[in-house]
Amino acid sequence: MAKITGLGGVFHVVKDPAATRAWYQENLGIGGEYGPILKWSEEAGKDPYSLIGPFTTNEYFQPSGKDFMINLRVDNIDGMVAQLRDKGIEILGESDEGYGKFAWFLDCDGVKIELWQQIEGPDAASNE
């Protein structure tokens, strides 16, 4: 039987796709001809995964006002937050949930980005 193997991408409409690609390259270090490309790799002691999380409202995505948010995995959230702050990007908040550490900011198009450093595997998160 055929199966889904991971997140293929997040697609959204912006005014200037070239400027958005450049912003992601300059500020997050991810780029590609058609947009940021994320390649999966095994993280020591973890089971890397992506999640498609439905919400009943867009309240969690505020202050974006969009009906979606992008979650990006990071290997060192404290380092990434420091890099973003050095570039003048406002960090909206940070949280340590035990199974992972999170931080949020808006990209150049007002899309809320959630950074996530996984601490535990998916089973630990679902058992809480």
State the CATH number of the domain containing residue 72.
Answer: 3.10.180.10
Q: Which range scores top for mean pLDDT: 25-29, 36-40, 81-85?
A: 81-85
In this predicted model, what pLDDT tens digit does every residue of 40-81 receive, in sequence order? 666 656 666 677 677 778 888 899 988 889 888 888 899 999
Of the candidates 20, 2, 24, the residue with the CA atom closest to the CA atom of residue 12: 20
Distance separating alpha carbons of residues 32 and 9, to the nearest angstrom: 13
3 occurs within a structural domain: no
66 occurs within a structural domain: yes
**In the prediction, which pLDDT does 12 show?**
79
Give how many domains the chain has, as a whole number.
Answer: 1
124 occurs within a structural domain: yes
Query: Which domain, by its residues, includes 66?
Result: 49-128
23 occurs within a structural domain: no
In this predicted model, what pLDDT tens digit does every residue of 77-123 receive, in sequence order? 999 999 999 999 999 999 998 888 999 999 999 999 999 888 865 55
20 occurs within a structural domain: no
DSSP conformation class of 8: -
pTM, full prediction = 0.75
97 occurs within a structural domain: yes
Of the candidates 76, 126, 72, the residue with the CA atom closest to the CA atom of residue 97: 126
Indicate the pLDDT class of residue 126, thresholds 50, 70 and 90. Answer: very low
- Is residue 108 within 8 A of residue 98, CB to CB? The reply is no
56 occurs within a structural domain: yes
4 occurs within a structural domain: no
Question: What are the DSSP E strand ranges found in 1-128?
Answer: 70-73, 93-96, 100-106, 112-118
